Structure 1
Amino acid sequence: MPQFAIIIYADGHEGTPEELAEHDRHSEDLIREGALTGAFALAAKSAAKAVRQDGVTDGPFTETKELIAGIGIVEADDLDAALAIARRNPATWQGAGVEVREVIGSYIRP
Protein backbone atom coordinates (compact mmCIF):
# COMPACT_ATOMS: atom_id res chain seq x y z
CA MET A 1 0.00 0.00 0.00
CA PRO A 2 1.34 3.47 -0.81
CA GLN A 3 2.74 5.56 2.01
CA PHE A 4 2.37 9.31 2.36
CA ALA A 5 4.26 11.80 4.50
CA ILE A 6 2.04 14.25 6.31
CA ILE A 7 4.27 17.20 7.13
CA ILE A 8 2.76 19.15 10.00
CA TYR A 9 3.34 22.88 10.13
CA ALA A 10 3.03 25.17 13.14
CA ASP A 11 2.84 28.92 13.36
CA GLY A 12 5.87 29.14 15.63
CA HIS A 13 4.22 29.03 19.04
CA GLU A 14 4.93 26.06 21.28
CA GLY A 15 1.36 24.80 21.51
CA THR A 16 -0.76 24.63 24.62
CA PRO A 17 -1.16 21.36 26.54
CA GLU A 18 -4.71 21.15 25.15
CA GLU A 19 -3.50 21.57 21.56
CA LEU A 20 -0.79 18.96 22.03
CA ALA A 21 -3.35 16.58 23.57
CA GLU A 22 -5.46 16.93 20.39
CA HIS A 23 -2.45 15.82 18.35
CA ASP A 24 -1.91 12.86 20.68
CA ARG A 25 -5.57 11.80 20.32
CA HIS A 26 -5.34 12.16 16.55
CA SER A 27 -2.24 9.94 16.46
CA GLU A 28 -3.94 7.36 18.69
CA ASP A 29 -6.94 7.32 16.33
CA LEU A 30 -4.69 6.74 13.30
CA ILE A 31 -2.79 3.97 15.11
CA ARG A 32 -6.07 2.28 16.07
CA GLU A 33 -7.24 2.52 12.44
CA GLY A 34 -3.97 1.01 11.21
CA ALA A 35 -3.11 4.02 9.04
CA LEU A 36 -0.16 5.50 10.97
CA THR A 37 3.14 3.70 10.41
CA GLY A 38 5.47 6.28 11.98
CA ALA A 39 5.40 9.74 13.51
CA PHE A 40 8.03 12.19 14.62
CA ALA A 41 7.46 15.35 16.65
CA LEU A 42 10.22 17.93 16.30
CA ALA A 43 11.71 20.21 18.97
CA ALA A 44 10.98 23.93 18.93
CA LYS A 45 12.63 26.12 16.29
CA SER A 46 14.81 27.65 19.02
CA ALA A 47 16.61 24.27 19.22
CA ALA A 48 17.18 24.06 15.45
CA LYS A 49 20.57 24.34 13.78
CA ALA A 50 20.96 24.99 10.06
CA VAL A 51 23.94 23.48 8.25
CA ARG A 52 25.26 25.09 5.09
CA GLN A 53 28.52 24.96 3.20
CA ASP A 54 29.87 27.94 5.12
CA GLY A 55 28.98 26.70 8.61
CA VAL A 56 26.30 26.11 11.19
CA THR A 57 23.83 28.76 12.35
CA ASP A 58 21.18 28.87 15.06
CA GLY A 59 17.56 28.54 14.14
CA PRO A 60 15.66 26.90 11.31
CA PHE A 61 17.06 26.66 7.79
CA THR A 62 14.77 29.46 6.61
CA GLU A 63 12.71 31.97 8.52
CA THR A 64 9.12 31.66 7.42
CA LYS A 65 5.80 32.20 9.10
CA GLU A 66 5.21 28.47 9.48
CA LEU A 67 7.75 25.86 10.53
CA ILE A 68 7.78 22.09 10.35
CA ALA A 69 6.57 20.75 13.70
CA GLY A 70 6.40 17.05 12.88
CA ILE A 71 6.10 14.35 10.28
CA GLY A 72 3.72 11.41 10.16
CA ILE A 73 3.83 8.52 7.72
CA VAL A 74 0.48 6.99 6.83
CA GLU A 75 -0.60 4.17 4.56
CA ALA A 76 -3.48 5.04 2.27
CA ASP A 77 -4.95 3.60 -0.91
CA ASP A 78 -4.19 6.74 -2.90
CA LEU A 79 -3.60 10.49 -2.63
CA ASP A 80 -7.29 11.23 -2.09
CA ALA A 81 -7.38 8.87 0.89
CA ALA A 82 -4.19 10.43 2.28
CA LEU A 83 -5.70 13.90 1.91
CA ALA A 84 -8.79 12.75 3.81
CA ILE A 85 -6.53 11.60 6.65
CA ALA A 86 -4.57 14.88 6.52
CA ARG A 87 -7.73 16.97 6.78
CA ARG A 88 -8.34 15.42 10.21
CA ASN A 89 -5.01 16.71 11.59
CA PRO A 90 -5.50 19.24 14.41
CA ALA A 91 -3.00 21.62 12.78
CA THR A 92 -5.65 22.33 10.13
CA TRP A 93 -7.88 24.05 12.71
CA GLN A 94 -5.18 25.30 15.09
CA GLY A 95 -3.98 28.03 12.75
CA ALA A 96 -1.47 26.15 10.60
CA GLY A 97 -1.80 23.19 8.26
CA VAL A 98 -0.25 20.11 6.75
CA GLU A 99 1.42 19.12 3.50
CA VAL A 100 1.00 15.68 1.93
CA ARG A 101 3.61 13.96 -0.24
CA GLU A 102 3.88 10.39 -1.39
CA VAL A 103 6.88 8.55 0.04
CA ILE A 104 8.91 7.22 -2.88
CA GLY A 105 11.80 5.82 -0.90
CA SER A 106 12.61 5.15 2.71
CA TYR A 107 15.00 3.54 5.12
CA ILE A 108 14.46 2.75 8.77
CA ARG A 109 17.29 1.14 10.65
CA PRO A 110 16.21 -2.31 11.86
Structure 2
Amino acid sequence: MAPEPLSYTQLPDPAQEAAAQALMQTIRCVVCQGQSIADSDADLAGDMRALVRQKIAAGEKPEAIRAWLIQRYGRWVSYRPPVDAVTWPLWAAPILLLAVGGLLARSAFRRRRT
Protein backbone atom coordinates (compact mmCIF):
# COMPACT_ATOMS: atom_id res chain seq x y z
CA MET A 1 0.00 0.00 0.00
CA ALA A 2 1.37 3.41 -0.94
CA PRO A 3 2.00 5.89 1.90
CA GLU A 4 -0.36 8.78 2.44
CA PRO A 5 0.71 11.86 0.42
CA LEU A 6 1.29 13.95 3.55
CA SER A 7 3.33 11.26 5.31
CA TYR A 8 6.57 12.60 3.88
CA THR A 9 5.43 15.87 2.26
CA GLN A 10 5.40 19.10 4.21
CA LEU A 11 2.48 21.49 4.23
CA PRO A 12 2.87 24.50 1.90
CA ASP A 13 2.21 26.96 4.75
CA PRO A 14 5.38 27.16 6.92
CA ALA A 15 3.41 28.14 10.04
CA GLN A 16 1.09 25.14 9.66
CA GLU A 17 4.04 22.81 9.04
CA ALA A 18 5.81 24.16 12.13
CA ALA A 19 2.69 23.49 14.22
CA ALA A 20 2.40 19.99 12.75
CA GLN A 21 6.09 19.26 13.40
CA ALA A 22 5.86 20.50 16.99
CA LEU A 23 2.87 18.24 17.62
CA MET A 24 4.43 15.24 15.85
CA GLN A 25 7.51 15.48 18.10
CA THR A 26 5.29 14.98 21.16
CA ILE A 27 3.30 11.99 19.86
CA ARG A 28 4.76 8.52 20.40
CA CYS A 29 4.81 6.01 17.56
CA VAL A 30 2.46 3.18 18.50
CA VAL A 31 4.57 0.62 16.61
CA CYS A 32 8.11 1.76 17.50
CA GLN A 33 7.26 2.85 21.05
CA GLY A 34 10.60 4.59 21.50
CA GLN A 35 10.29 7.21 18.78
CA SER A 36 7.99 10.06 18.01
CA ILE A 37 5.89 9.87 14.86
CA ALA A 38 8.13 12.58 13.42
CA ASP A 39 11.18 10.31 13.72
CA SER A 40 9.66 6.91 12.94
CA ASP A 41 9.68 5.19 9.55
CA ALA A 42 6.83 2.83 10.46
CA ASP A 43 3.83 2.86 8.13
CA LEU A 44 1.45 3.66 10.98
CA ALA A 45 3.63 6.64 12.01
CA GLY A 46 3.45 7.88 8.41
CA ASP A 47 -0.33 7.58 8.51
CA MET A 48 -0.38 9.48 11.80
CA ARG A 49 1.86 12.23 10.35
CA ALA A 50 -0.47 12.55 7.37
CA LEU A 51 -3.47 12.73 9.69
CA VAL A 52 -1.84 15.44 11.82
CA ARG A 53 -0.97 17.49 8.74
CA GLN A 54 -4.49 17.07 7.29
CA LYS A 55 -6.09 18.22 10.53
CA ILE A 56 -3.68 21.17 10.90
CA ALA A 57 -4.35 22.19 7.26
CA ALA A 58 -8.09 21.99 7.99
CA GLY A 59 -7.62 24.53 10.80
CA GLU A 60 -7.79 22.26 13.84
CA LYS A 61 -5.76 23.30 16.87
CA PRO A 62 -2.83 21.08 17.93
CA GLU A 63 -4.31 20.48 21.40
CA ALA A 64 -7.58 19.26 19.87
CA ILE A 65 -5.63 16.90 17.62
CA ARG A 66 -3.61 15.67 20.63
CA ALA A 67 -6.82 15.06 22.56
CA TRP A 68 -8.24 13.10 19.63
CA LEU A 69 -5.08 10.97 19.33
CA ILE A 70 -5.10 10.29 23.09
CA GLN A 71 -8.77 9.32 22.92
CA ARG A 72 -8.05 6.98 20.02
CA TYR A 73 -4.72 5.43 21.14
CA GLY A 74 -4.69 6.06 24.90
CA ARG A 75 -2.66 8.37 27.16
CA TRP A 76 0.51 6.46 26.42
CA VAL A 77 0.69 7.94 22.91
CA SER A 78 1.56 11.38 24.29
CA TYR A 79 5.05 12.21 25.51
CA ARG A 80 3.41 14.95 27.62
CA PRO A 81 0.62 13.26 29.59
CA PRO A 82 -1.80 15.60 31.38
CA VAL A 83 -1.56 16.06 35.15
CA ASP A 84 -4.58 14.36 36.69
CA ALA A 85 -5.42 11.83 39.42
CA VAL A 86 -3.80 8.98 37.50
CA THR A 87 -0.60 10.72 36.38
CA TRP A 88 0.21 13.08 39.26
CA PRO A 89 2.54 10.53 40.94
CA LEU A 90 4.63 10.48 37.75
CA TRP A 91 4.96 14.26 37.85
CA ALA A 92 5.57 14.40 41.63
CA ALA A 93 8.08 11.52 41.87
CA PRO A 94 11.14 13.45 40.59
CA ILE A 95 10.47 16.31 43.01
CA LEU A 96 9.98 13.93 45.92
CA LEU A 97 13.13 11.97 45.04
CA LEU A 98 15.17 15.19 44.88
CA ALA A 99 13.81 16.27 48.25
CA VAL A 100 14.62 12.90 49.85
CA GLY A 101 18.11 12.95 48.28
CA GLY A 102 18.68 16.47 49.59
CA LEU A 103 17.65 15.45 53.10
CA LEU A 104 19.90 12.39 53.01
CA ALA A 105 22.85 14.44 51.76
CA ARG A 106 22.23 17.09 54.43
CA SER A 107 22.19 14.54 57.22
CA ALA A 108 25.34 12.86 55.87
CA PHE A 109 27.20 16.21 55.78
CA ARG A 110 26.07 17.03 59.32
CA ARG A 111 27.38 13.69 60.62
CA ARG A 112 30.80 14.34 59.03
CA ARG A 113 31.13 17.74 60.69
CA THR A 114 30.62 16.36 64.21
Is the TM value for this pair above 0.5? no
The structure carrying a bigger helix percent of its residues is 2
The structure carrying a bigger strand percent of its residues is 1
Q: What TM-score results when the alignment is normalised by the length of structure 2?
A: 0.29
- Report which of the two structures shows the higher radius of gyration computed on alpha carbons: 2
